[in-house]
């Protein structure tokens, strides 16, 4: 019996110029602004290009 392929728990996303938390959340199924903030321990909305975020998948 074949085992189902497991999805990785997190996807790594590198922030680009103009990205917003809400825009990033829309790109990933099941992601929310709140979940991205919590996973990455973000206390403010300011994103910097080049930041690396873990997105729960």
- Residue 6, C-beta contacts closer than 8 angstroms, at least 6 positions apart: none
Compute the distance between CA of residue 57 and CA of residue 27 in angstroms, rounded to an integer.
11
Phi-psi region of 7 (alpha: psi -120 to 50; beta: other; left: phi over 0): beta
> Taking the CB of residue 19, how many other CB atoms lie within 10 A of it?
17
To the question of pTM greater than 0.85 for the whole model, the response is: no
The per-residue pLDDT for range 1-57, each reduced to its tens digit, is 667 766 668 999 999 999 999 999 999 999 999 999 999 999 876 899 999 999 987
* Burial (0-12, 13-18, 19+ Cβ within 10 Å), 46: exposed
Domains of the chain: 10-56 (3.10.350.10)
């Amino acid at each position: 019996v074949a085992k189902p392929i497991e999805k990785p728990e997190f996807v790594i996303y590198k922030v680009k110029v103009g990205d917003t938390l809400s825009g990033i959340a829309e790109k990933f199924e099941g992601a929310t602004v709140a979940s991205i903030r919590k996973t990455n321990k973000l206390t403010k909305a300011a994103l910097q290009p080049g930041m690396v975020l873990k997105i729960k998948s």
